[in-house]
Amino acid sequence: QQQVKQSPQSLIVQKGGISIINCAYENTAFDYFPWYQQFPGKGPALLIAIRPDVSEKKEGRFTISFNKSAKQFSLHIMDSQPGDSATYFCAASRRGNTGKLIFGQGTTLQVKP
């Protein structure tokens, strides 16, 4: 019940295309869903996050779509750029808990010029 499942494991997109990464969770007590971006040799950096009271959140080229009934959320990267090439992790945490993040397996995104 603590798992967050992420797909695909890897993704190749042409420059200017849309990158879509999906995550699913089981624990309905989760109520905070961030996405992290990680470059090789670096720590995860918070990209965007959503809470279940909204179905979508957009920040620049990055959008989270959230489907509470399906217990799924996804990251959309519009107009993907080579500089977006990185590993992306979804995560989840539970209100009233210690704030620990449960991470998905990660998606390695390559944006081809």
Partner 1 sequence: EPEVTQTPSHQVTQMGQEVILRCVPISNHLYFYWYRQILGQKVEFLVSFYNNEISEKSEIFDDQFSVERPDGSNFTLKIRSTKLEDSAMYFCASCPGTQGEQYFGPGTRLTVT
CB of 85 to partner 1, least distance (A): 17
* Cα 102 from Cα 1, distance rounded (Å): 11
CB of 91 to partner 1, least distance (A): 8
* 97 lies in the binding site for partner 1 (CB under 8 A): yes
* 103 lies in the binding site for partner 1 (CB under 8 A): yes
Q: What are phi and psi of 53, to 5 degrees?
A: -85, -5
* 35 lies in the binding site for partner 1 (CB under 8 A): no
CB of 32 to partner 1, least distance (A): 5
Catalogue the E-assigned strands of the chain. Answer: 4-7, 10-14, 19-25, 30-38, 45-50, 56-59, 62-67, 72-77, 86-94, 102-103, 107-112
Given the complex with partner 1, which of 69 and 98 has the nearer CB atom? 98
* 98 lies in the binding site for partner 1 (CB under 8 A): yes
